[in-house]
């Protein structure tokens, strides 16, 4: 791991924390709020790749574990990690890795902009929505005692916002790629 890698990991951990300044939106029918920090999954994976992006989230999770108020709404501490949102928080690192892995394998220099946009969007949706939900929703079900189908149904309210986050992450990743490429290439 190079100094550049460490700087990018710390930078994206800071960006994720800053996304937490945006107040969470709570919905009455599910104990998981809408936050901007989940967009960091897409941004980190698409811009700095699987390994560095996931490590940025591991750093954020460690900050949460020691009690720093780095989550949306100024939350932090072990109680948050074992509460209803814990599955999503731990899932961030895995979802970022998957997002980055897809981006690294689909985005190439010399591709058309349309293919790059499509690759970033697909990576954001698969990693940042599908994988994250697959980890977070069962956790909510187990912790709250709510049937999984009820959690899945309630989580559908998040889809429009998450698709908007995927579009924003796609635009940002493409802009960074064209100006200062940071995404590692995989075969």
Q: How far apart are CA 44 and CA 54, in angstroms?
A: 8
Q: Can you give the pTM of this predicted structure?
A: 0.93
List, in order of start, the domains of the chain with CATH numbers: 3-179 (1.10.1760.20)
Mean pLDDT, 10 residues at a time, the chain of 187 residues = 94 95 80 86 96 97 96 92 94 97 92 95 97 96 95 92 96 92 75
Q: What is the pLDDT of residue 83?
A: 94
Return the pLDDT at 187: 57
């Amino acid at each position: 791991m190079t100094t550049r890698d460490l700087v990018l990991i710390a930078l994206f951990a800071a960006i994720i924390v800053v996304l937490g300044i945006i107040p969470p939106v709570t919905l009455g029918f599910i104990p998981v709020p809408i936050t901007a920090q989940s967009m960091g999954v897409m941004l980190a994976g698409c811009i700095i790749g699987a390994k560095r992006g996931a490590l940025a989230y591991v750093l954020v999770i460690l900050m949460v574990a020691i009690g720093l108020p780095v989550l949306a709404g100024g939350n932090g501490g072990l109680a948050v990690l074992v509460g209803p949102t814990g599955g999503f928080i731990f899932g961030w690192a895995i979802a970022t890795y998957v997002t980055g892995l897809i981006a690294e394998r689909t985005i190439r220099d010399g591709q058309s902009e349309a293919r790059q946009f499509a690759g970033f969007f697909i990576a954001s949706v698969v990693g940042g929505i599908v994988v994250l939900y697959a980890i977070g929703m069962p956790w909510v079900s187990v912790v709250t005692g709510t049937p999984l189908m009820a959690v899945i149904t309630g989580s559908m309210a998040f889809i429009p916002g998450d698709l908007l986050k995927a579009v924003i992450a796609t635009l940002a990743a493409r802009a960074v790629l064209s100006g200062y490429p940071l995404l590692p290439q995989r075969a």
